[in-house]
Structure 1
């Protein structure tokens, strides 16, 4: 919550925080979308590419600790330690369409819900 508050206050580095919106193409219903925090590197959703030139916060200590625990539990491979995290925050009424994450994300790719 602290990082999200910093994001909405625009006190995080560069493009770490993003407010995204979504409009359903069939119904035209506009959702709030989601709030996004990106750490390690910036993923450009508009151009479907990783943009290393755009600044974001480094991986936060709590994310590094989580990765350590998941690696120790063999849920993540030690040989492919994550160096990027995207945190999507959905509030009541928020939505995005079903999708497949773009192939520009290096593999292995991990999702935690």
Structure 2
């Protein structure tokens, strides 16, 4: 099941959600050229490190900015193993519900059923980590209002895109001393 007309902007690496027309499997497309992280995204990463939300030795180097229009959704999925756990997801513009489960039932377009539903207020950050992260599906219900959702990730070292260079501005980050 695909979303209606969600737009995704990928930075740091190009990620294939499903097998594409050329037969490339899901995962990081190592030979595709992609834009680096924009300055606003880097500011968010810097704040997460300074506030000790993100460890300084685990700098995120890619993100997907998902822009949802009214009535769009993100179907059940598991984030790919080309990325290192944890993932950091930030919600913008409106409230959103995210659903988690080993098996998520699709009830209808943008309607899903499982045991754990978490409402995220605007500006909320959710961190997906732990042993179950690569086994648990998650999805976003059909949205009622325009929505932006940013998922930050770190590429697995062996899967890093060719031509990728770590951002020196992010590599030197340290948390605030208390």
| TM-score, normalised relative to structure 2 | 0.44
Are 1:63 and 2:41 an aligned pair? Answer: yes
Report the 3-state secondary structure (helix = DSSP H, G, I; strand = E; otherwise coil) of the residue aligned with 1:32: coil
Are 1:35 and 2:13 an aligned pair? Answer: no
Contact 1:48–1:104 (8 Å) recurs in 2: no
More strand, by proportion: 2
Report the 3-state secondary structure (helix = DSSP H, G, I; strand = E; otherwise coil) of the residue aligned with 1:52: coil
Which is greater in Rg?
A: 2
Q: Kindly tell me the number of residue pairs found equivalent between the two proteins.
A: 85
Contact 1:80–1:108 (8 Å) recurs in 2: no
Deviation for aligned residue 1:95: 1.3
Deviation for aligned residue 1:43: 0.7
With CA pairs under 8 Å and 6+ residues apart, which has the higher RCO, 1 or 2? 2
Q: How big is the alpha-carbon RMSD for the aligned residues of Structure 1 and Structure 2? A: 1.6
Deviation by residue 1:75-97 (Cα, 9 ceiling, x = unmatched): 11111100101111111011121
More helix, by proportion: 1
> Could you say which residue in structure 1 is the equivalent of 2:52?
74
Contact 1:33–1:96 (8 Å) recurs in 2: no
Are 1:52 and 2:30 an aligned pair? Answer: yes
